[in-house]
Amino acid sequence: MNHFAEIAAHLAEEHLDAVLLTGEANRFYASGFHSTGGDGVALVSRNGSYYFTDSRYIEAAEAQVEDAAIGMTDRERPYSAWINEAISLSGIKTLGFEDDTMTVAEFRMYEKKLNCQMVPASDFLHRLRRVKDAEEVERLIGAQRIAEGALEQILKEIRVGMTEKEIAARLQYLMLAGGAEKMSFDPIVASGPNGSMPHAVPTERRIQDGDFITMDFGCVYRGYCSDMTRTVAMGGVSEEMDRVYHTVLQAQLAGIAAARAGVTGREVDAAARRVIEEAGYGSCFGHSFGHGVGVEIHEQPNASPVNENALPCGAVISAEPGIYLPGKFGVRIEDVILLTEDGCRDITRSPKELVVL
């Protein structure tokens, strides 16, 4: 799978002759070639694509990159030399670059050495990546299933006395053993009062009777991320815990019911937020309802109060409202949904009824 043609097809309307892809996410999106943290540059022009890398990656690149000319960089022939050759071969005058990931030092170097004009193009690439094709959806679902398998197993293992760190470590092991390439982010495991911090870092705190345990985790499968959160209870729940859990669940279901192509990110967020506000917890839900998920764990589009743009068909976003009560506990429930013309498909299968361990 690669997206060279997809990118090339949109260059004219962006008034670009080509784009230079230097960041890992867009290089992978364009080429389908995963080089872990490694060096490499993809260049997509209106009449041909290129992939340049060094001796450490060239063998794998030659085997895996299709539909592009491949070149090996070395001291005599650095990236700028290969790119300049492509610039003259493909007649490139205006070259888009990744203004949100390229360092200032790299930009200055390229600007000085390349025989063309460089213009910011990150926004264009983010817009393209918002809409997922069938292959991308299949990979996102694959990543999701691995995470769900890890959840099913960890629920059998959590005991009073286990630390948050131990749970996080097991989740990582289970996802890797289940076929994940790596984590899509460091797992969040927050128990008891730690649960009121939406992005808590797992601690040595031991699980106690009466705790809520929030686990937010995901993995990367064939280059695509999963993201899910479940909050489970140990021992039993108070009336307030039960009320808060079901408010979050109703809010999530309301947001999912409102989510479809053509509605704005703000409208989807508002549908969920209204449920939380009406229950009297409006001030306890500080973050957005959802974010796009794909090659990166956080990408466009956002289902947030400030996104006035219509969500496109084929976008994949998280649905993750929460209520956080400082000093007490927190609840968040997160699925990932695929937007369609007439609604959405929840690609997360794990049950959401309150689980009491």
In angstroms, the Cα distances linking 137 to 79, 95, 133, 293 are 33, 30, 6, 10
Cis peptide before 301 (omega within 30 of 0): yes
Instruction: Provide the minimum distance between the beta carbon of 246 and Zn ion in the complex, in angstroms, as a whole number.
Output: 20
Tell me the sheet residues that pair with 123.
none
Q: How are strands ordered across the β-sheet holding 224-225? A: 182-183, 219-221, 224-225
Residue type, 116: C
Phi, psi dihedrals of residue 118, rounded to the nearest 5°: -105, 130
Q: Which stretch binds Zn ion (CB under 5 A): 85-93, 165-173, 216-224, 237-245?
A: 216-224
Residue 158, SS3 per DSSP: coil
Residue 216 touches Zn ion, criterion: CB under 5 A: yes
Instruction: Provide the minimum distance between the beta carbon of 290 and Zn ion in the complex, in angstroms, as a whole number.
Output: 7
Show the site string, 220-259: x = touches Zn ion by CB under 5 A, - = not.
-------x-x------------------------------
Of 235, 219, 17, 256, the residue nearest 118 (C-alpha):
17
Instruction: Provide the minimum distance between the beta carbon of 259 and Zn ion in the complex, in angstroms, as a whole number.
Output: 15
- Separation CA 143–CA 133 (nearest Å): 16
Taking the alpha carbons of 75, 76, 78, 80 in that order, is the dihedral positive or negative?
positive
Instruction: Provide the minimum distance between the beta carbon of 271 and Zn ion in the complex, in angstroms, as a whole number.
Output: 18
Element (H, E) at 355: none
Residues that contact Zn ion, how many (by CB under 5 A): 5
Instruction: Provide the minimum distance between the beta carbon of 226 and Zn ion in the complex, in angstroms, as a whole number.
Output: 9
* Interactions with Zn ion, residue window 99-128 (CB under 5 A): none
Question: Which C-beta is closer to Zn ion: that of 148 or that of 227?
Answer: 227
- Separation CA 129–CA 127 (nearest Å): 5
Instruction: Provide the minimum distance between the beta carbon of 113 and Zn ion in the complex, in angstroms, as a whole number.
Output: 39
Question: Which C-beta is closer to Zn ion: that of 77 or that of 199?
Answer: 199
Instruction: Provide the minimum distance between the beta carbon of 302 and Zn ion in the complex, in angstroms, as a whole number.
Output: 11
Residue type, 114: L
Show the site string, 280-319: x = touches Zn ion by CB under 5 A, - = not.
--------------------------------------x-
Q: Which stretch binds Zn ion (CB under 5 A): 151-159, 196-204, 219-227, 274-282?
A: 219-227
Q: Which stretch binds Zn ion (CB under 5 A): 26-34, 37-45, 101-109, 330-338?
A: 330-338
Q: Which stretch binds Zn ion (CB under 5 A): 36-44, 203-211, 214-222, 255-263?
A: 214-222
Of 213, 132, 218, the residue nearest 175 (C-alpha):
218
Question: Which C-beta is closer to Zn ion: that of 216 or that of 299?
Answer: 216
Q: Which stretch binds Zn ion (CB under 5 A): 5-13, 82-90, 194-202, 333-341?
A: 333-341
Instruction: Provide the minimum distance between the beta carbon of 222 and Zn ion in the complex, in angstroms, as a whole number.
Output: 20
- CB within 8 Å of 100: residues ≥ 6 apart: 23, 122
Pairing, β 48-53 against β 69-72: parallel
Residues engaged in binding Zn ion (CB under 5 A): 216, 227, 229, 318, 334
